[in-house]
């Protein structure tokens, strides 16, 4: 009987100490209370979550924005001296990235117009020419028009991204 009671006491002590340790050492399972946007000079860097009144943000994103070297060794995150990248080099890198994005956005527009919108417009013209006034014909025409509208909206989104990138390039080259 003594062994049983002592076993129960040891078990209770172990369970309470493990749960107390888990509560204080881990954020796993904790409720996210909010989401903040982390910005530098008006440019979004990352999102930070708020747990128990503390904001947690990605270390790499923050260190890159601050220009601080970051290394990971095992389970340690080491933040070092400020990167030696000059402002001119940073601008050059960003300009290169923006120009690459511009090319990608323009390629998306060109591909969508040539491979999707133009054939769909031709299909729509043929459907309208063959329209016999039936409900099925009206539905088919309406469906193609909606898809065309969606593709044109995509092209407009890509153009907005081009405009934003061009504005940023102009800002950087002043």
3-state secondary structure labels for all residues of 17-64? HHHHHHHHHCCCCCCCCEEEEEEECCEEEEEEEEECCEEECCHHHHHH
What does the mean pLDDT of the chain come to? 82
For residue range 31-69, what is the model confidence (pLDDT) as tens digits?
A: 888 888 888 877 777 888 888 888 888 877 787 777 777
pLDDT over 90 at 160, yes or no: yes
- Over residues 159-163, the mean pLDDT reads 96
pTM for this entry: 0.51
Nearest residue to 46 via CA among 34, 54, 36: 36
- Over residues 154-165, the mean pLDDT reads 96
Q: Which residues contact 67 (CB under 8 A, 6 or more apart)?
A: 82, 83, 85
Of the chain, the percentage scoring pLDDT greater than 70 comes to 83
């Amino acid at each position: 009987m003594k062994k049983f009671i002592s076993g129960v006491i040891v078990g209770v002590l172990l369970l309470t100490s493990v749960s107390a340790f888990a509560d204080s050492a881990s954020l796993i399972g904790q409720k996210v209370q909010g989401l903040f946007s982390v910005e530098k000079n008006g440019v979004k860097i990352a999102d930070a979550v708020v747990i128990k009144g503390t904001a947690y943000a990605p270390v790499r994103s923050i260190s890159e924005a601050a220009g601080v070297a970051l290394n990971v060794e095992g389970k340690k995150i080491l933040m070092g001296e400020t990167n030696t990248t000059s402002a001119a080099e940073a601008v050059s890198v960003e300009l290169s990235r923006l120009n690459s994005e511009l090319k990608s956005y323009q390629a998306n527009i060109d591909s969508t117009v040539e491979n999707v919108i133009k054939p769909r417009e031709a299909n729509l013209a043929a459907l309208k020419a063959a329209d016999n006034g039936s409900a099925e014909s009206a539905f088919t025409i309406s469906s193609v028009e909606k898809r065309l509208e969606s593709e044109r909206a995509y092209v407009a989104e890509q153009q907005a991204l081009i405009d934003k990138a061009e504005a940023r390039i102009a800002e950087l080259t002043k």
